[in-house]
Amino acid sequence: MEATSWWRRLRRRTAPRELDPGRGDLVVVASSFDDAEACSAALARADGWIAEQPAVLRHHLRLPAAQVNAVQIIAAQDGYQTSSVDESDPALLILHRVQILDALHCSQERARMAGLAQRHDGDALGWEALQPKPL
């Protein structure tokens, strides 16, 4: 029972589907484009972030145009979708997924994106978390 409980908590944290990433009322509630800033610090200064609610976590990557498709395919394996990509070289690729956000998981995803970008000759520029605008 312990393992099932752990698995359910993990699934709730990483794969909530109650939030449509295309909603028009999403606003940036937390972000960091500073490599030296901890996710915990960015979340501590967040404006309007509700920790218990799902958020759209967006990562901004700069990559050689020839590497964009490979990065999209790998990121999709972890549930990321493409928000946008410009056609310049280097290209700016923005990936997103919905998840419950906390400092630990934000940090893990940030490191994952930095590693993915680096392995494809690119850079992870930063991240943003979006949630619906409070009423």
Structural domains of the chain in order of their starting residue, each with its CATH number:
2-132 (3.30.70.970)
Q: pLDDT value at position 133?
A: 85
Q: Over the chain (135 residues), what is each successive 10-residue block's mean pLDDT?
A: 53 60 92 95 93 95 96 96 90 96 95 97 97 83
Cβ 98 vs Cβ 17: under 8 Å: yes
pLDDT of residue 87: 81
**The pairing of beta strand 91-100 with beta strand 26-32:** unpaired
Parallel, antiparallel, or unpaired for β 123-132 and 26-32? antiparallel
Supply the pLDDT for residue 18: 79
